[in-house]
Amino acid sequence: MTPAPARAPGPGTARTLLPMPRLRAPEGLGAASSRTDSEAGAGAGPDEAGAAASPGPGALPTGLTDRYGRTVRDLRLSITDRCNLRCTYCMPAQGLDWLDSASLLTADEIGRLARIAVTRLGVERIRITGGEPLMRRDLEEIISAIASLRTPGGAVPDIGLTTNGLGLDKRAAALRNAGLARVNVSIDALEREAYAALTRRDRLDDALAGAAAAQAAGLSPIKVNAVALPGTLHAQAPRLLAECLRRGWQLRFIEHMPLGPRESWSADDVVGAEQILAALSDAGFTLAEAGRPDRRPAALWRVAAGEHDGAAHPAGSVGIIASVTAPFCADCDRARITADGRLMTCLFSTTETDLRGPLRSGATDEDLMRVWAAAAWRKPLAHGSDDPAELPSGFERPGRTMSAIGG
């Protein structure tokens, strides 16, 4: 998708112009709309891309479609907000005010929501996130319950896990046996000092051991997530790519998004896809664009076999998730449920829909489906807004950080 430039800021404001998705709001649903959530869910017209129809007040939904014709196929389930790292781009050094255990969805509640999503609402992929999901002792139980589900077509849902890798070496085999298919391990640097500075913990060896154990257990592919930051790009990006190619891991660079402490993000500091590619090319890698297969978040580039820092590396690929400089909101098929049971239809949503309350007050599956579908229908156009170009940074800023939302 080719992004359109953001509008110029109004008088008295100054900001870096960031791209906005090319996707127009349906008639009457711009930022000036004064509709309530319930009105918006009941009366929006079809958009030019998808002829979506609003779910009727009493109709039983069979899928999760929004006003712009996008359909949810991918569910991100956060199972804890706690983390054993303190990454500078994610949370303050002292951590956050963690949820108490009674506020967290139980394994049974998570399993029930997953069952409704997969067997009745069209979800095909579930990714378990956090916080750090390995901090839940019942993670294997949760994954086993999801792996027992089947879509209406009889398919097993694709189950992934996003983790920092700490402790994964001790649980990778059990997680694989429970039904986990793939993992994404966050490793932002391969120099011990740089890793410790970013994460505020000296745990690089543990993260690498976790990724290696996942590979040995048969989890595939192993993807490594690395947030691209201006101070470490040229030193870390080439080394990360070469090492991932040698180990048979798939590296994914992620642009820094405004989802950590508010003082930690500035549009001027965003390392965009073009800068990442330039740093890799300058380091001697030969890259060829491969597009976005299956409309997944990462745009891919093929990497030719070669040599870096005196050692050979095989051919492979590298991905860039350019949420800031090349937004892919137009074909987003994701929704998120936080660890305390709040549905977020967009990563940048400032509106959340409570599912835990109905779960614990006797709601039927059908009741939950209606609440879920009504919220999905109201999914904003892009970056948490129906008119993101009017926002000072191009993004809404949700009240939670990434650790509390779930990646």
Is 133 within 8 Å of 79 (Cβ atoms)? yes
pLDDT for position 389: 76
- The dotted CATH code for 61-405 is 3.20.20.70
Is 136 within 8 Å of 101 (Cβ atoms)? no
**CA–CA dist 302, 305 (Å, integer):** 10
What end-to-end distance do the CA atoms of the chain give, in Å?
A: 22
pLDDT for position 264: 60
Closest among 358, 363, 334, 331 to 348, alpha carbons compared = 334
Phi, psi of 73 (to 5 degrees): -120, -15
pLDDT for position 56: 67
Which positions ≥6 away from 366 have C-beta within 8 Å? 60
Phi, psi of 245 (to 5 degrees): -60, -45
SS3 content of the chain, % helix, strand, coil (to 5): 30, 20, 50
Is 312 within 8 Å of 347 (Cβ atoms)? no
pLDDT for position 260: 61
Q: 68-99 b/e with 16+ CB inside 10 Å = b?
A: bbbbbbbbbbbbbbbbbbbbbbbbeeeebebb
pLDDT for position 32: 32
Burial status of residue 206 (CB atoms within 10 A of its CB: 0-12, 13-18, 19 or more): middle
Within the chain, which residues score under 70 in pLDDT? 1-57, 258-265, 392-393, 395-398, 401-403, 407
Question: Which DSSP string do the residues of 60-72 spell out, in sequence order?
Answer: --SS-B-TTS-B-
pLDDT for position 63: 96
Task: For 88-117, write each residue's pLDDT tens digit.
Answer: 888 888 888 899 999 999 999 999 999 999
**CA–CA dist 199, 197 (Å, integer):** 6
pLDDT for position 261: 59
List the chain domain ranges: 61-405
